[in-house]
């Protein structure tokens, strides 16, 4: 499992690509499994993404910053409310960095 998140802890925010530790996979999947379809999605700001790869397929999940108790994410252009902004960032920030790029 890999991910990208916006690291705002520095003077110049950047998106950081990480390998999510296997020890955190279960918690990430638990957060995503709380999702409920949101037929009235908002124009949220991208928080990051998670990419789950198996031998058969790769699934890309976009994470959005809501600033609310319930987070938001999308899979194949279907939007969900679930998880939590700070929990997504907490889990992704535990990953081993594999790259970074500046936010414009």
Write down the pLDDT at residue 11: 64
Q: How open is the CA angle 52-12-83, to the nearest 5 degrees?
A: 35
Could you report the per-residue pLDDT of 31-51, keeping only the tens digit for each? 999 999 998 888 888 888 999
Residue ranges of alpha helices (H) inside 1-104 are 22-33, 85-93
Cβ neighbours for 54, distance < 8 A, ≥ 6 positions apart: none
What are the residue ranges spanned by the domains of the chain?
Answer: 2-102
From the list 41, 50, 36, 73, the residue with the least C-alpha distance to 4 is 50
Please tell me the pTM assigned to this model: 0.83
Write down the pLDDT at residue 12: 56
Write down the pLDDT at residue 42: 83
Q: How open is the CA angle 76-77-82, to the nearest 5 degrees?
A: 90
Going from the first residue of the chain to its last (104 residues), give the mean pLDDT of each consecutive group of 10, the final group possibly shorter.
78 77 91 92 88 90 91 94 91 80 53
Neighbours of 10 (CB within 10 A): 9
Write down the pLDDT at residue 94: 87
Write down the pLDDT at residue 96: 83
Write down the pLDDT at residue 7: 73
């Amino acid at each position: 499992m890999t991910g990208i998140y916006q690291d705002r802890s520095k003077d110049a925010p950047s998106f950081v690509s990480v390998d999510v530790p296997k020890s955190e996979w279960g918690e990430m999947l638990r957060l995503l499994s709380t999702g409920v379809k949101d037929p009235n999605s908002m124009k949220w700001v991208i928080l990051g993404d998670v990419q789950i790869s198996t031998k058969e397929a790769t699934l890309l999940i976009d994470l959005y910053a809501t600033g609310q108790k319930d987070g938001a994410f999308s899979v194949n252009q279907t939007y969900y409310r679930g998880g939590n902004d700070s929990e997504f960032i907490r889990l992704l920030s535990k990953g081993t960095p594999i790259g970074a790029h500046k936010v414009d």
